[in-house]
Amino acid sequence: MEVLPPLVEQVQEPLCFWNGDTNPANFLSDGHRLTGFVDFAHASWHDPHYGLARFTVYQWVQLDRPLLFQRYRECHRLSERDFALRSAVHCLWMLQTSVPGEPVDDAYRGRILAQLDADLRLLNT
């Protein structure tokens, strides 16, 4: 826990409005273009890169995550450490806000802890 606060304090990204649940099911399309988006239950002002970094632990995402994250980092000029910081913050949030068994079961909790460990190792280099 003591590793993250000084790193978070160094982040200078301007906040952006975020719906709080960026996932493919919340974007509507006519097959050719974006026609709308739904689910603003957790909308807030956020770090612009946090939304994607949350996907490091979501098991339902069936994408090539390493390639997606690499391309995103390249497009936004983020280092692996920049991305790991946001992922670690999300891992801690998931662990803190969940009650054992709901919504994070033991196997999922183990994957979150493994991701947090990988993020912290990268942040400590």
The pTM score is 0.78
List the alpha helices (DSSP H) in the chain.
4-10, 50-53, 65-76, 80-97, 106-123
Tokens matching residue 103:
């919504």
Residues 32-71 as b/e (b if ≥16 CB within 10 A, e otherwise) read: eeeeeeeeeeeeeebbebbbbbbbbbeeeeeeeeeeebee
Per-residue pLDDT of the chain (125 residues; tens, 9 = 90+): 788 888 988 888 889 888 777 777 888 899 899 898 888 887 889 898 988 888 888 766 666 778 888 999 999 999 999 999 999 999 998 888 776 656 667 788 888 999 999 999 999 98
Q: Domain spans of the chain?
A: 4-14+49-123
